[in-house]
């Protein structure tokens, strides 16, 4: 059996009316095909058929136990089958996975992590009555955390289901599971069937529209996810009312017999991690980035419990590259409230700074101050300044603006940095500068527009520097002569 071939959509379309295999290939390949008239490589890696340069799996080959040459083939024996979501068999499998982690793996929850201020007591399986309880900071409890996407719910709809100052006392007494959104109800069922009595959901365990409580709890997000026994990532739920237990994945099967009489079947791929997990709305949210990092044990994602200490031990070059990569990826993600841009990654920022033993301010680390400041917008359009009502975010931080950013690629060892640049330790008032540095001025130079930015030319026309504005400016460029 061949391991690779090159085909195009037009050829498959012409043959699909008379060839069932061609028709199956056409249906499965079209979503991954962007140029119908161009050839595309399909490769076989054992049972998996992959398409394109990125090697995305889209079909699966298999054989049956009755095949005479089953012991000589590298194909999967039997049909791929996913357990029904929410079934007793699936819960038994999840419990077995977690038990194996407890016994043999290093992905247990962080020891010593502070307990969340509040947890939902979900009771045993099939219990419909819930209670919001205050946790005992001196007592460690196993709990499950939920990572989810709100979706497009209005504020009025959210108020109906969230914990607020008005309903918290009633919920601390008891309330019914039917009062929750469907994704939350599904999370309750999962926790109950895993045998974990307590559940943490942000909008139920943090008092919403209460700035004091929100600020206090937002700082502790890293401990919440690091201390969870496991985290449920509701990636298949596009919003909080979609649920994640009733989704079904169906696979088409096609029986094939080759010219030598060997029996095979062709089926659609049911294990698509990129589409089912990575590319879902949940993993495009800013808050979820640090949730994923700090959740040591998730259904689809786990991380070394010693992060980021292990990374930092690999050297400064890898550390700053990681910080810049993390900041770039985070800046691309969506936020319901723009003013959450600082808070949604504060736990991760604090953890890296603690491991690095350095100060950090608004995504900028003292250890790599020069390189962290060399960011710019990555989109063609200008960015907008975020109006933080209750804090001062300096203009030199990418957190002061909306939109995605990227960092300048500066060769290591190829630049001599100024030593006078540092954080101002007394920065706490509007009239106190956030940075302390020397200021230089352009002399005998002229700015000239190039594309979306400017270049600085000396009197001989030699390029000496570049300027790119991240915000729309109406200032007189000729009057600007300072660079910090």
Whole domain around residue 198: which residue ranges? 88-238+280-294
Residue 434 lies in a domain: no
The structure tokens listed for 389 are 């009502």
The structure tokens listed for 103 are 């016994």
Distance of alpha carbon 108 from alpha carbon 102, whole angstroms: 7
Mean pLDDT of 371-396: 83
228-275 pLDDT, tens digit each: 888 888 777 677 777 877 765 566 667 777 777 777 777 765 555 555
Same domain, 219 and 92: yes
The SS3 assignment for 144 reads strand
Same domain, 40 and 139: no
Same domain, 66 and 195: no
Same domain, 320 and 389: yes
Residue 463 lies in a domain: yes
Same domain, 117 and 264: no
Residue 182 lies in a domain: yes
Residue 67 lies in a domain: yes
pLDDT of residue 210: 92
Going from the C-alpha of 474 to that of each of 170, 395, 456, 471, 479, the distances in angstroms are: 54, 17, 19, 10, 12
458-477 pLDDT, tens digit each: 888 888 877 777 766 655 55
More confident site: 91 or 362: 362
Mean pLDDT of 339-366: 85
The structure tokens listed for 296 are 């040591």
Q: What is the largest CA-CA distance in the chain?
A: 85
Residue 340 lies in a domain: yes
In DSSP terms, 41 is beta-bridged to 6
Same domain, 322 and 377: yes
How many domains, the chain?
A: 4
For 29, how many CA atoms within 13 A lie in the half-sphere containing its CB? 29
**pTM above the 0.85 mark?**
no
The structure tokens listed for 128 are 């419909």
Same domain, 325 and 400: yes
Q: Over 80: is that where the pLDDT of 373 sits?
A: yes
Mean pLDDT of 320-333: 85
Q: Over 70: is that where the pLDDT of 192 sits?
A: yes
How many C-beta atoms lie closer than 10 Å to residue 384's C-beta? 13
pLDDT of residue 78: 64
pLDDT of residue 234: 77
pLDDT of residue 344: 78
Same domain, 70 and 154: no
164-178 pLDDT, tens digit each: 999 999 999 999 999
Selection from 3, 63, 26, 68 nearest residue 255 by Cα: 63
81-113 pLDDT, tens digit each: 666 666 777 778 888 878 887 887 666 655 556
pLDDT of residue 109: 56
Distance of alpha carbon 25 from alpha carbon 41, whole angstroms: 12
For the ranges 212-226, 262-276, 376-390, 419-433, the lowest mean pLDDT is seen at 262-276
Residue 443 lies in a domain: yes
Tokens 């994704």 sit on residue: 183
Same domain, 56 and 95: no
In DSSP terms, 405 is beta-bridged to 377
The SS3 assignment for 431 reads coil
Same domain, 99 and 215: yes
Residue 59 pLDDT grade (very low, low, confident, very high; cuts 50, 70, 90) = confident
Same domain, 414 and 314: yes
Residue 208 lies in a domain: yes
Same domain, 264 and 284: no
Distance of alpha carbon 280 from alpha carbon 262, whole angstroms: 39
Residue 428 lies in a domain: no
């Amino acid at each position: 059996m061949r391991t690779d071939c090159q085909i195009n959509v037009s050829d498959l379309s012409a043959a699909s009316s008379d060839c069932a295999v061609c028709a199956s290939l056409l249906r499965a390949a079209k979503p991954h095909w962007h140029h119908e008239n161009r050839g595309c490589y399909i490769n076989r890696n054992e049972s998996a058929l992959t398409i394109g340069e990125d090697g995305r799996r889209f079909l699966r080959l298999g054989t049956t136990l009755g095949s005479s040459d089953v012991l000589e083939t590298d194909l999967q024996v039997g049909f791929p089958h996913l357990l029904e979501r929410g079934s007793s068999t699936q819960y038994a499998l999840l419990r077995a996975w977690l038990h194996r982690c407890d016994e043999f793996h290093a992905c247990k929850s962080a020891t010593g992590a502070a307990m969340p201020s509040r947890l939902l007591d979900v009771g045993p399986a099939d219990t419909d009555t819930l209670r919001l309880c205050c946790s005992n900071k001196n007592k460690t409890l196993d709990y499950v955390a939920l990572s989810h996407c709100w979706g497009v719910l209005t504020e009025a709809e959210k108020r109906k289901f969230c914990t607020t100052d008005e309903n918290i006392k009633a919920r601390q007494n008891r309330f019914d599971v039917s009062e929750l959104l469907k994704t939350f109800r599904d999370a309750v069922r999962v926790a109950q069937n895993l045998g974990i009595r307590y559940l943490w959901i942000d909008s139920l365990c943090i008092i919403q529209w209460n700035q004091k409580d929100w600020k206090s709890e937002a700082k502790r997000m890293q401990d919440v996810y690091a201390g969870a026994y496991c985290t449920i990532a509701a990636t298949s739920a596009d919003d909080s009312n979609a649920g994640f237990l009733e989704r079904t994945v169906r696979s088409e099967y096609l029986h094939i017999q080759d010219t030598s009489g060997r029996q095979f079947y062709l089926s659609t791929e049911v294990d698509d991690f990129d589409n089912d997990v990575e590319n879902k709305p949940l993993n495009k949210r800013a808050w979820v980035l640090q949730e994923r990092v700090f959740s040591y044990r998730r259904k689809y994602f786990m991380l070394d419990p010693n992060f980021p200490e292990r990374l930092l031990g690999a050297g400064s070059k890898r550390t700053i590259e990681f910080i810049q990569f993390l900041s770039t990826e985070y800046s691309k993600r969506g936020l319901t409230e723009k003013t959450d841009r600082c808070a949604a990654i504060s736990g991760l920022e604090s953890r890296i700074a603690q491991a690095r033993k350095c100060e950090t301010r608004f995504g900028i680390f003292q250890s790599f101050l020069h390189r962290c400041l060399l960011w710019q917008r990555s989109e063609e359009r200008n960015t907008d300044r975020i109006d933080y009502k209750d804090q001062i975010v300096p203009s030199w931080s990418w957190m002061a603006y909306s939109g995605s950013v990227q960092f300048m690629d500066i060769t290591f060892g190829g630049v001599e940095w100024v030593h006078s640049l540092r954080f101002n330790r007394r920065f706490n008032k509007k009239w106190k500068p956030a940075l302390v540095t020397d200021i230089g001025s352009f002399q005998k130079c002229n700015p000239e527009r190039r594309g979306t930015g400017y270049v600085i030319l000396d009197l001989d026309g030699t390029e000496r520097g570049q300027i790119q504005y991240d915000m729309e400016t109406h200032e007189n460029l000729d009057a600007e002569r300072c660079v910090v």
